[in-house]
Amino acid sequence: MTVSLYGMTLAELETWLVAKGEPKYRALQIYTWLYQKRITSVQQMTNLPKALRDRLAYETTMETMEEVTRQVAKDGTIKFLFALHDGTTIETVIMRHDYGNSVCVSTQVGCKMGCEFCASTLGGLIRNLAVSEIVEQLVVCQHLLDKTNERVSSVVLMGSGEPLDNYDASLKFVDIVTESEGLRIGQRHITVSTVGLVPAIYRLADELRGITLAVSLHAGDDDTRGRMMPVNKAYDIATLLEACHYYYDKTGRRLTFEYALIRDHNDHLEDAQKLATLLSTLPCHVNIIPVNYVPERNLTRTSKNQIQAFVQHLQHLGINATVRREMGGDIAAACGQLRAEHSRESV
Ligand code: SF4
């Protein structure tokens, strides 16, 4: 059985090599080739004996995804659709900011969470991604950026899927990409997004990671949130916020709350008022994300004036809130749109 080189932490690679009768120090050499020299074939690992390179070529895999499409927006956002070994597809996005390049990775094929405004969930959950498939998304993006001498400076686990529903793979991904001998992404530059899976938030808090937790709240009351997000039936807002306070108390990390603004669903000033009341005692930042038109769900975008009014009202109430800069407005940039378009074309 083959294993993916991108699916192992440095310690795991050492153990794997030792079990094969190879010296432990080879793991560091391989890691350096993979993540610092960023080669694309084991035969390029020229300081390894030929026999080990052949063994790696036979017993391990590296890149397993195929690029199906790539869209480049006017603002530099690059959106990939990748086909995995079983023919399923996922999206990965490179976003350009003043402070560097951020990559948004997927953690599942499809998603079972059923959020009203999201195209990724339309076909349900197909499967969890293996950790190697999450790491590989980042590696492919870094390979592209290498051509212009650029680096991935931050990562968001915010593509298709609920990262905390694929908890072990998502957290091992964090371990691999933060490895000091690897890609060296700082924990503080990693954001894990969640719909609010409360037990997983407690677990993450207890692991004391330095990552940022971004919680999709999207409403200031249970009725509205319940209509938008089925997960609210399992964990209502009060239960979720209790877990968020615990996360802050344990880690000292300010939370981010995502708020997808949808016309006439949750974009009135009284919604802002409810949100401000809920968050008044929790150090946090609110990201307002005006939702693009989702043809399958018939959702429409909030007007520019109303977006401004909503944010200003929050700020006036003492909440640190900003509108997320729209990335790749001229391409299918909303979560799951490219994959949904691809499957529409394929039928
Ligand atoms: S927004 Fe995220 S959690 Fe919700 S359905 Fe889409 S992919 Fe899943």
DSSP 25-39: THHHHHHIIIIII--
How many structural domains does the chain have? 2
Full pLDDT tens readout for the chain, 347 residues:
789 999 999 999 999 999 999 999 999 999 999 999 999 999 999 999 999 999 999 999 998 899 999 999 999 999 999 999 999 999 999 999 888 999 999 999 999 999 888 888 889 999 999 999 999 999 999 999 999 999 999 999 999 999 999 999 999 999 999 999 999 999 999 999 999 999 999 999 999 889 999 999 999 999 999 999 999 999 999 999 999 999 999 999 999 999 999 999 899 999 999 999 999 999 999 999 988 776 666 788 899 999 999 999 999 999 999 998 766 555 444 455 555 555 544 43
Closest residue by CA, ligand 1 atom 3: 162
Domain of 40: which CATH number? Answer: 1.10.150.530
Report the catalytic residues.
Answer: 91, 335
Which of the listed residues 93, 106, 109, 120 should we mutate to test ligand 1's pocket, taking the one with most ligand atoms within 8 A of CB?
120
Neighbouring residues of 6: CB distance < 8 A, sequence distance ≥ 6: 34, 62, 131, 132, 135, 136, 139, 176
Which of the listed residues 218, 228, 335, 339 should we mutate to test ligand 1's pocket, taking the one with most ligand atoms within 8 A of CB?
335
In terms of domains, do 221 and 246 share one? yes
State the distance from the centre of ligand 1 to the C-alpha of 194, rounded, in angstroms.
8
State the distance from the centre of ligand 1 to the C-alpha of 121, rounded, in angstroms.
6
* Per-residue pLDDT, 291: 84
Residues in contact with ligand 1 by the CB-under-6-Å rule are: 111, 113-115, 118, 120-121, 160-162, 195, 335
Query: Is residue 174 within 8 Å of residue 193, measured between CB atoms?
Result: no
For residue 161, which atom of ligand 1 is closest to its CA?
Answer: 7
In terms of domains, do 16 and 89 share one? no
* Per-residue pLDDT, 347: 37
| 233: number of Cβ within 10 Å | 10
* Per-residue pLDDT, 117: 82
Residue 310 domain boundaries = 66-346
In terms of domains, do 71 and 166 share one? yes
In terms of domains, do 28 and 126 share one? no
CA 130 to CA 332: how far, in whole Å? 25
State the distance from the centre of ligand 1 to the C-alpha of 327, rounded, in angstroms.
18
3-state secondary structure (DSSP) of residue 211: coil
In terms of domains, do 70 and 217 share one? yes
Backbone angles phi, psi at 320, to 5 degrees: -75, 100
In terms of domains, do 212 and 124 share one? yes
In terms of domains, do 199 and 100 share one? yes
- Looking at 45, 61, 77, the residue that finishes a domain is 61
State the distance from the centre of ligand 1 to the C-alpha of 114, rounded, in angstroms.
7
In terms of domains, do 82 and 211 share one? yes
Q: Give the H or E element holding residue 301.
A: none
For residue 162, which atom of ligand 1 is closest to its CA?
Answer: 3
In terms of domains, do 288 and 165 share one? yes
3-state secondary structure (DSSP) of residue 167: helix
CA 182 to CA 168: how far, in whole Å? 19
What sign does the CA torsion over 290, 244, 116, 190 have? positive
In terms of domains, do 125 and 157 share one? yes
Burial class of residue 275 (count of CB atoms within 10 Å of its CB; 0-12, 13-18, 19+): buried
